[in-house]
Copies of this chain bind each other. A is one copy, B any other.
Amino acid sequence: MGLGFSEDRAWLCARLFAEASRDGVYSHGLHRFPRFIETIKSGIVDVHASPKLITALGAFERWDGCSGAGNLNAHDAMERAVSVATTQGLGCVAMRNTNHWMRGGSYGWQAADAGHIGICWTNTLPNLPPWGGTKPTIGNNPLVIAVPRAGGHVVLDMAMSQFSFGALESYRRKGEQLPVAGGFDLDGELTRDPVEIESSNRPLPIGYWKGSGLSLLLDLVATLLSDGVGTHQIPGEVAKETRLSQVFIALAPLETDRERIVNETLEFMKSASGDPAMVRYPGERTLEIRKESLTLGVPVGPDIWDAILNL
């Protein structure tokens, strides 16, 4: 509010940051908050902006994020997609000129909390070399797919890189190797060493050529649907990442017996191991961490907490 957000927008913005940390996504929760404040001070994020409708055609709408806060814009966009879907079966909102949405999963949980299937993705700055290349010319373009379930939503929230830079840093700090190859070393060989990958700046797309292709298509579709800016036009520096293009799809549930179908599917998947706890569904661990956080509190590093108090 001290930087100019209205009270309700400040509240929502703070809630989205806090919920990310509560759910264990520390990198896009409180840890990210000081950097978010920097983007306001540097003029990347406009605290007075709110999304503007550009085009509406049936269940499809194009919005301009007007350089507003990425998490507020994304929340508004999914809310609108859900609202359209409620009357029209599905709703698709494409948004241009927005900013980093922080934790993508937030908008999947949001759609599922509203009882809808939610699908959304964003493009990013070029931070990932495509398969066959060494320079980062595609984004890690996170994709979120959420299915509502009374017993706990199923929410996939995955970037196109096998490990985020935050994950690489975390393994490096612990002095550990990655569990699987996560990028290339300076000689162009696949490696599990986070330090080597940070040196080469060549993280690996999921599934090698497959994730590379999927990243490209997510960027193209978001850019075209929003009539916005593609990864190739977004500055390659993290501090300057802006004008992102995003897509939000909500689908109203019309099925007759959702809870049973989802539960049976999860149960069958888990039967792949003698110990069902070994096979996790996306969102399962989130709920466990959420429960821990609500009981024991949300862990925040003292340096981050001090930085926030001193903002």
Q: Name A's B-contacting residues (CB within 8 A).
A: 55, 57-60, 62, 87-90, 92, 117, 119, 126, 129-138, 143, 145, 147, 154, 156, 158, 162, 180, 190, 206-211, 213-214, 216-221, 223-225, 227, 230-233, 251-256, 258, 261-262, 264-265, 267-273, 278-282
Contact sample, A vs B, 15 pairs, CB 8 Å cutoff: A57-B88, A58-B87, A59-B89, A60-B89, A132-B279, A132-B280, A133-B278, A135-B273, A137-B268, A206-B206, A220-B265, A221-B251, A223-B265, A227-B254, A227-B256
With A133-B279, A158-B210 as contacts: A224 and B258 at CB distance below 8 Å: yes
Q: Are A216 and B251 neighbours in the complex by a CB distance under 8 Å?
A: no
- Given contacts A57-B88, A132-B272, A145-B218, 16 further A-B pairs with CB under 8 A are A117-B225, A119-B221, A130-B269, A137-B271, A143-B214, A147-B217, A147-B220, A147-B221, A154-B217, A162-B208, A206-B207, A206-B211, A216-B282, A217-B282, A227-B256, A232-B264
Q: Tell me how many chains of this kind the complex includes.
A: 2
Q: Are A88 and B59 neighbours in the complex by a CB distance under 8 Å?
A: yes
In the docked arrangement, what's the CA distance between A129 and B274, Å?
13
The one of B131, B143, B230, B268 in contact with A261, judged by C-beta atoms closer than 8 angstroms, is: B230
Distance in Å: Cβ of A62 to nearest Cβ of chain B? 7
Distance in Å: Cβ of A213 to nearest Cβ of chain B? 4
Q: Are B180 and A208 neighbours in the complex by a CB distance under 8 Å?
A: yes
Distance in Å: Cβ of A256 to nearest Cβ of chain B? 6
Q: Are B58 and A147 neighbours in the complex by a CB distance under 8 Å?
A: no
With A58-B59, A117-B221, A132-B280 as contacts: A268 and B227 at CB distance below 8 Å: no
In the docked arrangement, what's the CA distance between A36 and B89, Å?
35
Q: Residues of B contacting A156 with CB < 8 Å? A: 213-214, 216-217
